[in-house]
Structure 1
Amino acid sequence: MSTSRWVRRPGTWFTVTLALVLAGVLITTLDRGHARSAPPPADATPPPSSTTATPVAPAPEWMRPLRPGEKPPQFVLFSFDGAGSHEHWGRYLSLAKSVNAHFSGFLSGIYLLTDQQRPRYTGPGHKPGAASIGFGGSAGEVATRVQDLNAAVAAGHQVGTHYNGHFCAGAEPSVGRWTAQGWTEEIGQFSHFVDDARDHLGLHLSAKDVTGGRTPCLEGNWAAAFPAMLAAGYTFDSSQPSDGVKWPTRLDGIWEFWMPYVKVPALHKKVIMMDYNLWYQLGHNKNDAGQYTQATLDTYRGAYRAAFDGNRAPLVIGNHFNDWAGGAFSRAAEGFMGEVCTKPETVCATYAEVTKWMSLQDPAVLDKYRSMPPAQAG
């Protein structure tokens, strides 16, 4: 099995070592644990649907057109794949509230199904009930997850999609081989699981509220995937890598929020700034948690400074709700959220918020910043 993927750079090809095949195998075990990280509540009865309209929060001061000569805010987009762990939801919700931050959780749709309900999911080209990650656990665990998602929505965070079965290269047919019809089926099932949880479990979210997400292992045949995303009403994706921190680009009607490929000071080379990729490149060792946390923080800080001092492109921080390397990467994300979201001219926002902000700007002003070179850490 190959553990590399190719990324196009001007004038050359180079390999970005993602170890995504291994990721698909490893996440099968790890995400199953994350989906079940919380014991069921004493009362596992699903919460009733809310009948009271949620008050609309006033728009933040920065949600406006830029004034003449004003630079864009330095947006930082914290995003978490899977989004199933009760423990991690609690930690990030509390931290984000303390630093006035918003973030995005990309939900794996089958986390809304109990283990007994797994035959309800059929991945494109796969047998009913097959998946490369675990399902949602017990009814009590799913009910707890719904409560976590409701708390996130109420606090202004975004819930996007990580699709369903997490079929990466090696678990064929994988997402990179799906046709447009396959993507339509996968998205349709995700939408059904969300709306069913709304109707029967009290989820304060519907499929129409989900406007994009990230594909498993950052894989996909985009010529097939994007038409299906667009047909589902999606407006953004955050899966494709870019060399440096780059402004979102509209591709076939979808805003691509690029996953930046940045310099890791501890390695003296570039890596896609996703926690799993950093872990793999740093050695995949379970015993260097402190080293991994510091190396990841240094990487985040370097990328932030390059963007802030350069093109001010939104900085995507890609993560999972995980405990890899003893929780080293979760601690790095939490530490960076705690320090960066309080910095001047910095806004920790969701994809929906940044997309809305871009829609308010003079296109010529944004084109000026888009024409600047992608931000590169020194």
Structure 2
Amino acid sequence: MRTITRRGALGLGAGAAAAAGLTGCGSLTSSEPSPADGSKSGGSSKSPSGSPKATARPLGDGSTSFTGKQPHQPDQPVPLEAGQEPPQFVVFSWDGAGEVGNGLFPRFLDLAKEHGASMTFFLSGLYLLPESKKRLYDPPNNPRGASDIGYLTDEHVRMTLTNVRRAWLEGHEIGTHFNGHFCSGHGTVGNWTAEQWRSEIDQAKSFVKNWRTNTGWTEEAALPFDYDKELVGGRTPCLLGQDNLLPTARSLGWRYDASSPGGRQVWPQKKDGIWDLPLQQIPFPGRSFEVLSMDYNMLANQSINSTKAPSHNYPGWRKQSAQAYIQGFKRAYESNRAPFFVGNHFEKWNGGIYMDAVEESFKHIAAEKEKGADVRLVSFRQFVDWMDVQKPEVLEQLRTLDVGQQPSGGWKTFLKNNNTPGSTSSAGSAGPSSSAA
């Protein structure tokens, strides 16, 4: 068994933890052997979407390449018309985005493909760095080569490359979850300066852009994107350190950050010129408090961070988790139409019930879209593309709606003056700012 441990911010009672916006991540665990026939459950190296174009231009050492416009992207977004109902955006995102032979990465790629959806994969840079080269990593305030998540085996690095390659070709976004996942002690990311965040980001990008040099592999296909241009946002380990990260993110031209803990289901604002897209407090069926929209927080509130709880609890916990996501979606869709953000990990905690809950809720939401509702399953990058072309006064009006609040008089009345002349916001504009959630 190979276990990669991430330290979470635990220690509160379940209810108090949820109310405080308990954050954290878990472990990336592979307890299943590779198939006896030698095939990899991480998926074939040939993407179902096809190989990168023959005209691909290698970048750097050939680890990445420019292959043109990304496939499977939505139409160019346009501003809302006067009185138009806003779409219901839903973003499913994944922290770490490593494949360790448990088949979870390709499982959710298959699910997204089946329903024409896009997601965001926050890739940990270390997942493309062989353990034999771990001293190439110089983490801020920690010993060289240290990491609070383990390095993947060579086989799992190859599986991760296969699935990241496929994800981009199928229209998904590749963000970053940075590298060593330090959540406690002197070296925690919560204490890093803006300069230290720059070092961490530079290293994460380097591990993605130079995996061929670091591994010595020549047969694996290049990643089909320019990571310097692809990377426009991330999520920090355990949702810590955003304040010092944002100035660096802005200097790098990032467009959003998904690291705020304990956000609410309202329309987002910019912070320090960056779209602040937090995980959100959502209903937790059967409990008097709400829970953060992430699988780890379901786990922490159900089994006090135990991943080996009695199995007789699993069916009820799976149902509770799925319904939390479904009720969070329903509350937004039937009221203020605030975007709904969900965070996950490729884990089989408590018998894999959280993966099943995510899939059940995803299918429920996709079914609404397929019945004709204007529900859009998108990546964070695609969502901010839409936000950046909306009129600032329209976004300000949407932000007046509280959690679960329906627009007075309906959307036609609420946004009836949505035809005021004026320029739309742009990707580089500062826009409205706010303090952290």
Indicate whether the TM-score tops 0.5: yes
Q: After TM superposition, give the deviation of residue 136 of structure 1 in Å.
A: 2.3
Rg comparison, structure with higher value: 2
| C-alpha RMSD of matched pairs (Å) | 2.8
Pick closer, same or farther for the CA change 1:161–1:367 going to 2, 3 Å. same
Pick closer, same or farther for the CA change 1:190–1:323 going to 2, 3 Å. same
Residue 352 of structure 1 is matched in structure 2 by 381
* Greater Cα offset, 122-131 or 227-236: 227-236
Residue 292 of structure 2 is matched in structure 1 by 272
One-letter code aligned to 1:122: D
1:82-93 map, 5 Å = 82-85=96-99, 87-93=103-109
Structure 1 counterpart SS, 2:303: coil
CA contact (8 A) 2:21 2:261 kept: no
**Structure 1 residues 311-343: Cα deviation after superposition (integer angstroms, max 9, x where no partner):** 111100111111111111111111111120231
> Of residues 262, 273, 284 in structure 1, which corresponds to 2:282?
262
**Structure 1 residues 177-221: Cα deviation after superposition (integer angstroms, max 9, x where no partner):** 11112111111100111111377761223332111111111111x
* Greater Cα offset, 322-331 or 276-285: 276-285
Residue 313 of structure 1 is matched in structure 2 by 338
Q: After TM superposition, give the deviation of residue 58 of structure 1 in Å.
A: 7.1
Residue 174 of structure 1 is matched in structure 2 by 188
In structure 2, distance between residues paired with 1:376 and 1:319: 27
Structure 2 counterpart SS, 1:262: strand
Instruction: Say yes or no: does 1:18 pair with 2:54.
Output: no
> Of residues 238, 245, 250 in structure 2, which corresponds to 1:217?
238
Structure 1 counterpart SS, 2:342: strand
One-letter code aligned to 1:194: V
Structure 2 counterpart SS, 1:241: coil
CA contact (8 A) 1:244 1:376 kept: no
One-letter code aligned to 1:67: E
Pick closer, same or farther for the CA change 1:191–1:283 going to 2, 3 Å. same
* Greater Cα offset, 251-260 or 190-199: 190-199
CA contact (8 A) 1:113 1:137 kept: no
In structure 2, distance between residues paired with 1:215 and 1:345: 31
1:1-378 map, 5 Å = 3=10, 16=20, 18=22, 20=24, 23=25, 27=26, 30-31=27-28, 33=30, 51-52=54-55, 53=67, 57=71, 60=74, 63-85=77-99, 87-138=103-154, 140-170=155-185, 172-197=186-211, 202-208=222-228, 209-220=230-241, 222-284=242-304, 285-287=309-311, 288-343=313-368, 344-375=373-404
**Structure 1 residues 244-265: Cα deviation after superposition (integer angstroms, max 9, x where no partner):** 3122210001111121112201
One-letter code aligned to 2:166: A
Pick closer, same or farther for the CA change 1:261–1:19 going to 2, 3 Å. closer
**Structure 1 residues 102-127: Cα deviation after superposition (integer angstroms, max 9, x where no partner):** 11111111000112121111210111
Pick closer, same or farther for the CA change 1:376–1:135 going to 2, 3 Å. farther
CA contact (8 A) 2:9 2:238 kept: no
In structure 2, distance between residues paired with 1:236 and 1:37: 38
**Structure 1 residues 291-314: Cα deviation after superposition (integer angstroms, max 9, x where no partner):** 221001111111111111221111
CA contact (8 A) 2:71 2:170 kept: no
Q: After TM superposition, give the deviation of residue 273 of structure 1 in Å.
A: 1.5
In structure 1, distance between residues paired with 2:23 and 2:93: 20
Task: Provide the TM-score with structure 2 as the length reference.
Answer: 0.75
Pick closer, same or farther for the CA change 1:123–1:145 going to 2, 3 Å. same
One-letter code aligned to 1:362: K
* Greater Cα offset, 190-199 or 125-134: 190-199
Aligned length: 356
Pick closer, same or farther for the CA change 1:310–1:19 going to 2, 3 Å. closer
Structure 1 counterpart SS, 2:210: helix
One-letter code aligned to 1:196: N
Q: After TM superposition, give the deviation of residue 51 of structure 1 in Å.
A: 3.9
In structure 1, distance between residues paired with 2:84 and 2:337: 12
In structure 2, distance between residues paired with 1:107 and 1:57: 20
